């Protein structure tokens, strides 16, 4: 699969989903076009999905937040008879490269996390209205909803059949959500996840696999009734949404990507991509009315959309670039003024949505399986939200004192209110709390240094950077680090980084991504699943997979 994957789409390009808006309720209908797979070689039968289907879903969920703030309830349902969703397409998985399979699972997890959190973050509750077979990734679509309704008939069921049928695990957090979110009893979960045909009706309700079971004759009416009930109970101010237009994006022949505020430079020999973020070039809007009037061109919204797209592009299209280097250039005080407007107006729906978007974006950086570093150079603007990057990456290097021939302002780091709560990691701690997990008092004391431009010596003393380097050592030290990192096994790096980035308490979110990185990554390499006689390859042939029965 060498096709360049584009994560940008819009409603005029949807092939697999449609949305019907009815005041505070949106009906989200999955009606997959089986002949419109992202790649050749498979059909998306029975509402099965590939990455292209999920790119559309991610776009819908994002637009629901920004373009349709009036929506309080989203009803996810099928546009096909007798099937809700058959899950991820098995032919696609069988033919996909290992890296594509894992990154596909990671993206789908992030999409499900986004609409799962929409009720808390944005006042948008998702209902899964399940009629027909709801299996594997289909049930995982439902699991991420806030309420699951199942019709009670002879054909409708929920199932996670990956283990018995495919020799893999549910790839989108299914096992974790069954136990951690739905709190299904462990032995019942064991039976459920070992059963190909799934569970129906009252048993699904008794086992906590769904929230409601409704007679088929009353199902559609009851779903809409329930949606209206939920909507009436969710207070939400009236607001007019902001349209999300296409990004200003150019991909060069050398693999470089240029946006209006971001440049991604590619060095294939060094297996490195350098992401340079530009600070604002105009004053912050006077108030939220002026910010809203700027629409999707408002600096912090535009920057978030471009950086999000850049990260996804690098993940799926540049598999051999093992090191991501983050730089910024701009006026720290000007950036802080743009940020301060949002922080001071968190009760405004659009300010809230932009901050929530930055929270999700920073989490996407956290779980990206690449070595990452940040360079705090002269002229940089690692302030507040952008300073979070310094503690999301694996190492941070900062310029100390003046550099010969460099007349840019000296490098600084500035902490703001954004670093103390609004942008938590998946472990529900701030990045500073995670960084200083062994010395929690240190994280708290950082608040004493808010809104102060910290030079290299101060940032180093506070532990905010890994190393400060002067003019003599900068180029050599950075070169040595980057060459060393590029020489290590990418498998070992993926495992090491995923272990080190998430100190502290486990949450459902950290377990989902941790298990994906470790267990699913490993299983997707095993011949029992992906070998020529493995379950993924033999699925649909009438033959069971042949397994090496040695337990490890």
Domain of 221, CATH number, reads 3.90.226.10
Radius of gyration of the chain (CA): 24
Same domain, 228 and 262: no
Q: Which of 198, 232, 266 is the last residue of a domain?
A: 232
Q: How far apart are CA 257 and CA 455, in angstroms?
A: 31
- Half-sphere exposure in the Cβ direction for 259 (13 Å, CA): 23
**pLDDT, position 443:** 84
The strand pairing partners of 326, in sequence order, are: 275, 374
**Residue 549 is assigned to a structural domain of this protein:** no
Q: Which of 110, 111, 141, 119 is nearest to 128 (CA)?
A: 141
In which residue are the tokens 């289909």 written? 138
Q: How confident is the model at residue 217 (pLDDT cuts 50, 70, 90)?
A: very high
Instruction: Give the Cα separation of 156 and 128 in Å (integer).
Output: 13
Mean pLDDT value of segment 417-429: 97
pLDDT tens digits along 128-150: 999 999 999 999 999 999 999 99
**d(C-alpha 432, C-alpha 390), whole Å:** 10
Q: What CA–CA distance (Å, rounded) separates 107 from 342?
A: 27
Instruction: Judge if 23 and 146 occupy the same domain.
Output: yes
Percent of the chain with pLDDT over 70: 100
Choice between 383 and 443, residue whose per-residue pLDDT is larger: 383
For residues 507 and 480, state if they share a domain.
Answer: no
* 383 and 423 housed in the same domain: yes
Mean pLDDT of the chain: 96
β pairing state of 83-85 and 125-130: unpaired
pLDDT for the residue numbered 274? 98
pLDDT at res. 165:
93
Q: Answer yes or no: are the C-beta atoms of 485 and 457 closer than 8 Å.
A: no
* Inside any domain, residue 543: no
Tokens 């990554």 label which residue?
Answer: 521
pLDDT digits (tens, 9 = 90+) for 351-368: 999 999 999 999 999 999
Half-sphere CA count of 79, side-chain side, radius 13 A: 17
* Count of the separate structural domains present in the chain: 3
What mean pLDDT do residues 206-221 have? 97
Distance between CA atoms of residues 296 and 259, nearest Å:
14
Say if residue 139 is in the same domain as residue 20: yes
pLDDT for 444 equals 83
- Whether 501 and 471 share a structural domain: no
CA atoms of 268 and 418, how far apart (whole Å): 35
Mean pLDDT of 156-173: 94
CA 153/CA 215 separation, integer angstroms? 7
Tell whether 149 and 288 lie within a shared domain: no
Residue 552 lies in a domain: no
Q: How does pLDDT run across 306-348, given as a tens digit for each residue?
A: 999 999 999 999 999 999 999 999 999 999 999 999 999 999 9
Average pLDDT over residues 416-433: 97
Q: Are residues 135 and 207 in the same domain?
A: yes
Q: Which residues in 448-509 belong to E strands, given as ranges?
A: 453-454, 467-469
| Across 109-128, average pLDDT | 97
Q: What is the pLDDT of residue 1?
A: 44
**Distance in angstroms (rounded) separating the CA atoms of residues 425 and 437:** 13
What's the DSSP call for residue 199?
B
Containing structural domain, residue 179: 11-232
- 120 and 44 within one domain: yes
- In tens, the pLDDT along 63-114 reads 999 999 999 999 999 999 999 999 999 999 999 999 999 999 999 999 999 9
Whether 206 is in a domain gets the answer yes
The predicted model gives 283-297 an average pLDDT of 98
Q: Give the position of tokens 């590619």.
A: 266
Q: Is 548 among the domain residues?
A: no
454/349 same-domain check? yes
Q: Find where tokens 């996804």 sit.
A: 312
Q: Are residues 208 and 323 in the same domain?
A: no
**214/261 same-domain check:** no
State the average pLDDT over residues 473-489.
96
């Amino acid at each position: 699969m060498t096709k360049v994957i584009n994560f940008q789409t819009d409603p005029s390009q949807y092939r697999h989903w449609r949305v019907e808006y009815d005041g505070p309720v949106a009906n989200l209908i999955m009606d997959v076009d089986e002949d419109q797979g992202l790649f050749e070689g498979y059909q998306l039968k029975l509402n099965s999905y590939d990455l292209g289907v999920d790119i559309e879903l991610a776009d819908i969920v994002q637009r629901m937040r920004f373009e349709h703030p009036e929506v309080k309830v989203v009803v996810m349902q099928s546009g096909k008879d007798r099937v809700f969703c058959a899950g991820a397409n098995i032919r696609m998985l069988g033919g996909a490269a290992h890296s594509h399979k894992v990154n596909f699972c990671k993206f789908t997890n992030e999409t499900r996390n986004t609409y799962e959190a929409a009720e808390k973050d944005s006042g948008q509750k998702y209902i899964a209205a399940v009629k027909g077979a709801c299996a594997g990734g289909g049930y995982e679509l439902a699991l991420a909803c806030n309420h699951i309704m199942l019709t009670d008939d002879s054909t409708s069921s929920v199932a996670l059949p990956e283990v018995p049928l495919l020799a893999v695990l549910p790839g989108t957090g299914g096992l974790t959500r069954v136990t951690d979110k739905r709190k299904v009893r462990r032995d019942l979960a064991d039976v459920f996840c070992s059963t190909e045909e799934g569970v129906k009706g009252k048993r699904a309700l008794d086992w906590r696999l769904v929230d409601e079971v409704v007679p088929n004759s009353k199902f559609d009416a009851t779903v809409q009734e329930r949606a209206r009930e939920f909507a009436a109970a969710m207070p939400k101010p009236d607001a007019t949404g902001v349209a999300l237009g296409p990004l200003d994006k150019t991909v060069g022949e050398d693999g470089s990507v240029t946006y209006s505020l971001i440049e991604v430079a590619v060095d294939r020999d060094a297996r490195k991509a350098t992401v340079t973020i530009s600070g604002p070039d105009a004053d912050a809007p006077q108030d939220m009315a002026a910010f809203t009037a700027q629409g999707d061109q408002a600096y912090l919204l535009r920057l978030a959309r471009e950086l999000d797209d850049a990260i996804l592009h690098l993940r799926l299209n540049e598999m051999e670039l093992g090191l991501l280097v983050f730089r910024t250039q701009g006026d720290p005080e000007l950036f802080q003024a743009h940020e301060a407007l949002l922080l001071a107006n968190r009760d405004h729906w659009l300010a809230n949505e932009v901050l929530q978007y930055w929270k999700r974006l920073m989490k996407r950086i956290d779980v990206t399986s690449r070595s990452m570093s940040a360079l705090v150079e002269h002229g940089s603007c690692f302030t507040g939200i952008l300073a979070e990057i310094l503690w999301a990456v694996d190492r941070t290097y900062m310029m100390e004192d003046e550099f010969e021939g460099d007349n840019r302002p000296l490098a600084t780091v500035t902490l703001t209110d954004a670093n103390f709560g609004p942008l938590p990691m998946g472990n529900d701690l701030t990045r500073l709390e995670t960084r200083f997990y062994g010395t929690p008092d240190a994280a708290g004391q950082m608040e004493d240094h808010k809104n102060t431009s910290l030079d290299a010596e101060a940032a180093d003393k506070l532990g905010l950077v890994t190393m400060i380097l002067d003019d003599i050592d900068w180029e050599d030290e950075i070169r040595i680090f980057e060459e060393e990192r590029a020489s290590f096994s990418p498998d070992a790096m993926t495992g090491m980084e995923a272990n080190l980035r998430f100190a502290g308490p486990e949450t459902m979110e950290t377990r989902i991504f941790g298990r994906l990185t470790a267990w699913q990554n490993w299983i997707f390499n095993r011949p029992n699943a992906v070998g020529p006689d493995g379950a993924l390859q033999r699925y649909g042939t009438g033959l069971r997979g042949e397994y090496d029965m040695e337990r490890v």
